[in-house]
Amino acid sequence: MIEVVASMARGPVFLAGEVLECLITFTNPISHLSTSASSEMLAWASAQIHCQFHASESRVALPAQGTKQDVQAESDTVLIPSRGERGQCVLDTPPKILFCDLRLDPGESKTYSYSEVVPTDGPPSFRGQAVKYVYKLTIGCQRVNSPIKLLRVPFRVLVLHGMPEPPFPQDEEVAPSNPFLEEEEGSRRDTRPLERALDMLMITTSRRCPYMFNITNVRGKVAKFCIFKTVYRLGEDIIGTFTFSEGDIPCLQYSVSLQSEEEVQEQYQRHPGQAVSVTAHARHLESCLHTASSHFSLPVPLNVTPGFTTDIVTLRWRLHFEFVTAREPVEAPVVLQNQSEVTVWTGAEHVDVDTFSWDLPIKVLPTNPTLASYVSQFTGTNSINI
């Protein structure tokens, strides 16, 4: 028996365009039955990345495809990474040979390093109501005259559009430098793509410019709303403020929800005019009668998928507001300046109300993949016995 262990040391989350590195260890464990003749042999091993796509039959109508035989003969030496998987393989990298004719004595182990650039032309990892995109690193191993064994290590891919291009000119004369630090020659020109992408991401999401909105209904102005930006990274807090003192219509209650919209492209919709799938990820609810101002803070979860578009589906993000307003003025409690006794104010038992909603589109971008690894459902490690 040979034990195969694959481990992604940096974590299970990567930006498209950066290098995925994985250490793969093959071990012939010692047992009480081991003898000098207990050496184990493997004919070959290779590895490659692939993305598996699966669509809901009730929501997505895909073109008919020919049936494929998902059976591999014992003598077949071709690695098919998606063998036995549900759905379609929409992206894969060329396989890389780890070794040929490996012999391991009892207690001996050998480690091989696999590295590959995560493709930039693929979709991000996504598990929606209509479609799913799942990335896996598949290691195939085979003994002589035996079927191929597959070890799969799932991981998450975040896509930041424009990552392969440097966000800034790489001119030595204009690039910022620190005279107190020694820099290796050409270090600025050899900046890693991940660092360039994170710099671009930080600049894009750090820009602040107040956006002011007047919230009104058919009866008049309800409040003024202010938000300082509309582009956020995963893990950031969305903060907004309401000023009800500038409104003419009493607001009894408001709620704000962070929602994602998953829309199947028209040509792939199962039913004409199919509704968009809406998922709520965070919600703030507050009663605000006689409140001059209020604010909310909604966290963008680290485990959600930033907005993206493919040929089949589009994912967008928005803030969904709901307001409950009174049709008639509601008198506020009056407290006399020299009043010595405690006064209890009781709200009206019946109030005629109106309700209305409003959607504010926002953009959600990726974050540092190391940060996203802390909440990932994947471990970046898997093993198999051959």
**Average of pLDDT values for 8-36?**
85
Mean pLDDT of the chain: 85
To the nearest 10°, report the CA torsion of 7, 10, 11, 16.
-110
Q: How far apart are CA 4 and CA 140, in angstroms?
A: 10
pLDDT tens digits, residue range 262-308? 999 999 999 988 999 999 999 999 999 889 999 999 999 999 999 99
What distance lies between CA 263 and its chain's CA centroid?
17
DSSP 185-238: TTTTTT--HHHHHHHHHHHHHH----EEEEEEETTEEEEEEEES-SEEETTPEE
**Average of pLDDT values for 49-57?**
94
- The domain ranges of the chain are 3-65+74-159+370-385, 207-331+351-365
For residue 69, name the pLDDT band (cuts at 50, 70, 90).
Answer: very low
pLDDT tens digits, residue range 341-371? 777 777 777 889 999 999 999 999 999 999 9
Please report the pLDDT score of residue 259 as a whole number. 98
CATH 3.30.1330.50 correct for 3-65+74-159+370-385: no
Pick from 372, 341, 357: which is nearest to 160 by CA?
372
Which range, of 9-23, 191-205, 295-309, averages the lowest pLDDT?
191-205
Pick from 5, 2, 1, 71: which is nearest to 383 by CA?
5
Please report the pLDDT score of residue 186 as a whole number. 43
Beta bridge partners of 136: 50, 154
Q: How far apart are CA 225 and CA 210, in angstroms?
A: 10
Decide: helix, strand or coil at residue 369: helix
**Average of pLDDT values for 100-108?**
90
Please report the pLDDT score of residue 166 as a whole number. 40
At residue 145, does pLDDT exceed 90? no
Determine contact, residues 150/138, Cβ cutoff 8 Å: yes
Q: At residue 12, what is the residue type?
A: P
**Average of pLDDT values for 9-23?**
92
For residue 196, name the pLDDT band (cuts at 50, 70, 90).
Answer: confident
Please report the pLDDT score of residue 360 as a whole number. 97
For residue 158, name the pLDDT band (cuts at 50, 70, 90).
Answer: very high
Q: At residue 132, what is the residue type?
A: K
Model pTM score:
0.83
* Count of beta carbons in the 10 Å neighbourhood of residue 256: 23
DSSP 60-115: B-PPP---------TT-----TTTT-SSEEEEEPPPEEEEEEEEE-TT-EEEEEEE
Q: Would you call 151 exposed, middle or buried from its count of C-beta atoms within 10 A (0-12, 13-18, 19+)?
A: buried
Query: One fold for both 3-65+74-159+370-385 and 207-331+351-365?
Result: yes
Determine contact, residues 18/118, Cβ cutoff 8 Å: yes
Please report the pLDDT score of residue 32 as a whole number. 60
At residue 17, does pLDDT exceed 70? yes
Q: Quote the DSSP letter at residue 9.
A: T
Longest dimension (CA), the chain: 100
**Average of pLDDT values for 21-49?**
84
At residue 187, does pLDDT exceed 80? no
Neighbouring residues of 279: CB distance < 8 A, sequence distance ≥ 6: 128, 129, 259, 260, 262
Decide: helix, strand or coil at residue 372: helix
CATH class of segment(s) 207-331+351-365: mainly beta
For residue 63, name the pLDDT band (cuts at 50, 70, 90).
Answer: confident
Token duo for residue 133 = 């995109």
Please report the pLDDT score of residue 193 as a whole number. 67
Residue with tokens 């028209």: 266
Please report the pLDDT score of residue 117 as a whole number. 93
**Average of pLDDT values for 30-52?**
81
Torsional class of 102: left (φ above 0), alpha (ψ -120 to 50), beta (otherwise)? beta
For residue 216, name the pLDDT band (cuts at 50, 70, 90).
Answer: very high
Q: Which residue has the higher pLDDT, 313 or 178?
A: 313
Q: What percent of the chain has pLDDT over 70?
A: 84
Q: How far apart are CA 52 and CA 156, in angstroms?
A: 12
The three-point CA angle 196-201-231 to 5° equals: 165
Q: Which residue has the higher pLDDT, 332 or 20?
A: 20
Please report the pLDDT score of residue 67 as a whole number. 46
Please report the pLDDT score of residue 61 as a whole number. 92
Determine contact, residues 247/222, Cβ cutoff 8 Å: yes
For residue 29, name the pLDDT band (cuts at 50, 70, 90).
Answer: confident
Residue with tokens 């998450």: 156
Determine contact, residues 237/297, Cβ cutoff 8 Å: yes
Which range, of 63-72, 108-117, 121-130, 180-189, averages the lowest pLDDT?
180-189
Q: At residue 306, what is the residue type?
A: P
Please report the pLDDT score of residue 331 as a whole number. 79
Please report the pLDDT score of residue 35 as a whole number. 57
Q: Quote the DSSP letter at residue 162.
A: T
The three-point CA angle 382-82-15 to 5° equals: 65
Determine contact, residues 363/231, Cβ cutoff 8 Å: yes
